[in-house]
């Protein structure tokens, strides 16, 4: 997979050189290219923003600069374009899996009060463009949102997670763990400050362990994410103690 990121803060993406994503880049599984938007700003101040039409606070990012940058990065290609924004469609595990199936992603990182809306209009005529948010809170720009999305997508690519790890049992992923959050996890020592690991996990009985883990995930989902629990199959809930 190729990923292009355009931003006025390319240094924000240094974390993509480390850990899982960094190794995937070294192996060539992931080809991440970060571009400085100001390289396509031609005035002496390399300005990328201007005052908003209609008034209001802050500044808006200029369409000309973005148009030149995107045209230069994509050429005649047609990547799937993702534009982080507070008002975007929610980024979910399902969308991460969808994006992980794309050969080429282009992330447009806005700053200030966002990017002139005509940019999305322009490229929506030629590319699949998604405006995406990562939660109901307001960031100062799109860079952190892109880091979140690149990590969530990158870990789903073949060979990125080591054999010991697997995205198959992810929370929220389709299948048995769909709409369930992670249950508790434990490792050695078996007793730590007088606290023991649940016996079932030491039993070696894989069926019981799987059932216990789903029960714990369900309990935690009901406690921490009641809105997800409400979507679960009522039969699943009936099997477990509804009260926590
Ligand atoms: C119109 O209101 C605002 C519009 C933009 C901004 C700052 N900003 C500029 C670009 C940009 C990209 C993504 C996000 C973002 C995404 C999520 N989930 N929260 N915040 C924030 C962004 C502040 C306020």
Phi first, then psi: what are they for 129, rounded to 5°? -120, 125
Contact 93/170 with Cβ under 8 angstroms?
Answer: yes
Please name which of 117, 63, 105, 98 lies closest in space to residue 81, comparing C-alpha atoms.
105
Whether this model's pTM surpasses 0.90 = yes
Q: Which residue minimizes the CA distance to atom 1 of ligand 1?
A: 113
With a cut of 50, say whether residue 51 has pLDDT above it: yes
Catalytic residue among 111, 155, 213, 220: 155
Do residues 89 and 99 touch, judged by C-beta distance below 8 A? no
What pLDDT band is residue 233 in, cutting at 50, 70 and 90?
A: confident
Condensed to tens digits (0 to 9), the pLDDT of residues 114-135 reads 999 999 999 999 999 999 999 9
Cα(143) to ligand 1 centroid in Å equals 10
DSSP 106-155: EEE---TT-B-HHHHHHHHTTS-EEEEESSSS--SSSHHHHHHHHHHHHT
Protein residue closest via CA to atom 24 of ligand 1 = 113
- Ligand 1 centre to CA of 227 (Å) is 25
List the one residue out of 227, 223, 228 whose CA is nearest residue 180: 228
Q: Whose CA is nearest to atom 4 of ligand 1?
A: 113
122 is catalytic: no
Catalogue the long-range contacts made by 175-178 (C-beta closer than 8 Å, 24 or more residues apart). 176/214, 177/214, 177/217
- Select which of 131, 170, 213, 219 is catalytic: 170
How far, in Å, from the CA of 61 to the mean position of ligand 1? Answer: 12
Question: What are phi and psi for residue 12, nearest 5 degrees?
Answer: -60, -20
Mutational test site, ligand 1, from 85, 87, 111, max ligand atoms within 8 Å of CB: 85
Dump pLDDT digits (tens) for 52-99.
Answer: 999 999 999 999 999 999 999 999 999 999 999 999 999 999 999 999
Residues 6 or more apart whose CB falls under 8 angstroms from that of 213 comprise 183
Task: Look up residue 28 and give its two tokens.
Answer: 């060539």
170 is catalytic: yes
Tell me the ipTM for this assembly: 0.99
Residue 135 tokens, joined: 């939660």
Q: At CA 98, angle to CA 73 and CA 80, rounded to 5?
A: 20
pLDDT value of residue 174: 65
């Amino acid at each position: 997979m190729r990923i292009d990121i355009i931003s006025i803060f390319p240094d924000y993406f240094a974390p993509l050189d480390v850990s899982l994503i960094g190794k995937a880049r070294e192996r060539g599984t992931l080809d991440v290219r970060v571009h400085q938007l100001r390289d396509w700003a031609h005035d002496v101040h390399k300005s990328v923003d201007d005052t908003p039409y209609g008034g209001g606070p802050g500044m808006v990012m200029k369409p000309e600069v973005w148009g030149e940058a995107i045209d230069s990065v994509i050429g005649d290609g047609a990547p799937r374009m993702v534009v982080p924004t507070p008002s975007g469609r929610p980024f979910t595990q399902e969308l991460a899996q969808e994006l992980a199936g794309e050969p080429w992603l282009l992330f447009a990182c806005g700053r200030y009060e966002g990017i002139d809306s005509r940019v999305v209009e322009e490229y929506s005529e030629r590319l699949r463009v998604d405006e995406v948010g990562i939660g109901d809170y307001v960031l100062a720009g799109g860079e952190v949102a892109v880091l979140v999305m690149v990590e969530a997508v990158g870990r789903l690519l073949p060979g990125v997670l080591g054999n010991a790890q697997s995205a198959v049992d992810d929370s929220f992923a389709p299948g048995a763990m769909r709409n369930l959050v992670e249950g508790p996890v434990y490792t050695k020592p078996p007793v730590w400050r007088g606290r023991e690991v649940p016996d079932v996990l030491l039993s070696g009985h894989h069926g019981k362990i799987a059932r216990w883990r789903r029960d714990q995930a369900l309990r935690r989902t009901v406690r921490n994410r009641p809105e997800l629990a409400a979507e679960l199959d009522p039969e699943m809930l009936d099997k477990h103690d509804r009260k926590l």
